[in-house]
Amino acid sequence: MNLTISSEWRPWFDNKVEVAGFVESYVGGLTYATVRAAGMKVMIDQPERGFILAKSFITNSSLPFTKFV
């Protein structure tokens, strides 16, 4: 797709201070995110991480890039 990266590949965290997945953003608003330990059905495999990802999408906010302490 030859997109320009606006934010490098980095981890995002869940409420348990664990790496929940990885995310990379591109110019134009596209964001690619993964969820660790989840298959095709993220909300079944990792419901808490799925909720964080969905909330981030709906509110147009960033995924948590720092550990919750």
3-33: per-residue pLDDT in tens?
999 999 999 999 878 999 999 999 999 999 9
What is the model's pTM? 0.86
Is there a domain that residue 66 lies in? Answer: no
Q: Where are the alpha helices (DSSP H) in 16-65?
A: 42-45, 47-58
Is there a domain that residue 67 lies in? Answer: no
Is there a domain that residue 19 lies in? Answer: yes
Where in the sequence is the domain holding 47, given as residue range(s)?
A: 5-58
Q: What's the number of domains the chain is made of?
A: 1
DSSP annotation string for the chain:
--PPEEEEEEEEE-TTSSEEEEEEEETTS-EEE--TT--S-HHHH-HHHHHHHHHHHHTT-PPP-S---
Is there a domain that residue 53 lies in? Answer: yes
26-68: per-residue pLDDT in tens?
999 999 999 999 999 999 999 999 999 999 999 999 999 887 5
